[in-house]
Structure formats: C-alpha cells, structure tokens
Amino acid sequence: MPRFAPIPPESLTPDQRAIHDHIDSVYNTASGSSPPFTMKDHTGALLGPFPMMIHAPFFGTAWFDHIMTVSSHPALEPRARELAILAVGAHYHCPYELYAHKRVALLPALGMSQTQVTDASEGKVPDGLSPAEQVAYEFAMEMLNSKGPVAKPHYDHAVALLGKESVLILMQLVGVYSFVCLMLNGAATEVPE
C-alpha cells in the first residue's frame, strides 16, 4: 500500500484538482502527450512525487514550479542536466527518480548510450562524455559526497568549463533533486509496473 496513494482526478478536492491540473498541463507542454516515463496510472492519477504535492495542497505548486524552472534553465546543457540528476538518484538510491530519469537520458535527442546511463545511475563517471558533461557529473557527486564546502579546485574547474551561471544552476539542480529523492524515499514511492 503506497504511503501517499495516487488520487484519481474524480476524487480530488478543488484545491487538489488545481494542483493536479497545473502539473498535468506543465508536463504536457514540456514533454508532449507521451512523456518517456509513466506519470499517471490507469485512473489518470499522477504518480511519482506528485501524489505528495496533491496530499499537501497547502504547498500549492511552488515546489513543482521551482523544480521545472531549475531543470529547464538553458544555462545547463540537457545532457549535463540529466547526468547531474542521475548522480543525485545514484547517491540517494532513489528507485523512482532513477526509473524516470534513465528514460529521459535515453531519449534520442540526448544521444546517451545505455552504458553511459547505467554507469551514471550507479554512481560511476561514464566514458565518452564531453569535458563539460564530465565536470557536471563530478561536481554533482562532489556536492553530494562532501561533508562541507566543495573544494575550491573542484569549484574553479567547474566554473572554468561551465561558467559561473551554469555552476549555480547545477548547484540548484542538485539541491532540488536531492529534495525530490528524499521525498520519494520517505514515501517509499514505487516504480510503475
């Protein structure tokens, strides 16, 4: 039994329905009518981290909108972004996050190989990355594994390859997806069949 069960649209309160419809609309705009991972069940109820947002409508859509803003910011290239997200999922051993973002990373537009995606999702730097992609993955892992500030040489190297704005977006991305993974793991969110 899910800790925060998906709620079919016809059973939502008006506040919950507003959040459901907002998430659904934004995702349809971002990924079209067929996202690379299952985000709804057979009743139309949202899956993944979304039931937690719907069960707590007092959060509104702020958390979701922040995630979407950071994860679509053009300062970070799509491959670097997905590599960083996979680093976060690997760090937290988060089944749903890895399920969803391995599928995103394998989209033809990103051109990542199955081996690269598997390595990244297991916490290993994949072969065949550009220098910028490699530093994005390594910097994300450094953030996740540091018990304090990221070492200055690692930060300086990331800024030299990515630029300061992109490193800031990368830091935000690691932060928001860490929050997502913690929520998903706390809720023991299952991967869809």
The per-residue pLDDT for range 63-108, each reduced to its tens digit, is 899 999 999 999 999 999 999 999 999 999 999 999 999 999 999 9
The structure tokens listed for 193 are 């069949």
How far are the Cα atoms of 39, 46, 115, 176, 187 from residue 137, in angstroms, in the given order?
Answer: 26, 29, 15, 16, 26
Question: What are phi and psi for residue 40, nearest 5 degrees?
Answer: -135, 150
Q: Give 40's strand partners.
A: 46
Q: Are 137 and 126 contacting, i.e. CB atoms less than 8 angstroms apart?
A: yes
Q: Helix crossing, 95-105 with 164-186: angle to 10°?
A: 140
**Per-residue buried b or exposed e for 77-106, using 16+ beta carbons within 10 Å of the residue's own CB:** bbbbbbbbbbbbbbbbebbbbbbbbbebbb
Name all domains of the chain by residue range, CATH numbers in brackets: 9-70 (no CATH), 74-186 (1.20.1290.10)
- Going by pLDDT thresholds of 50, 70 and 90, the confidence category of residue 33 is low
* Mean of pLDDT values over 47-76: 92
* Mean of pLDDT values over 1-5: 88
Per the prediction, the chain carries an average pLDDT of: 94
128-165: pLDDT as tens digits: 999 999 999 999 999 999 999 999 999 999 999 999 99
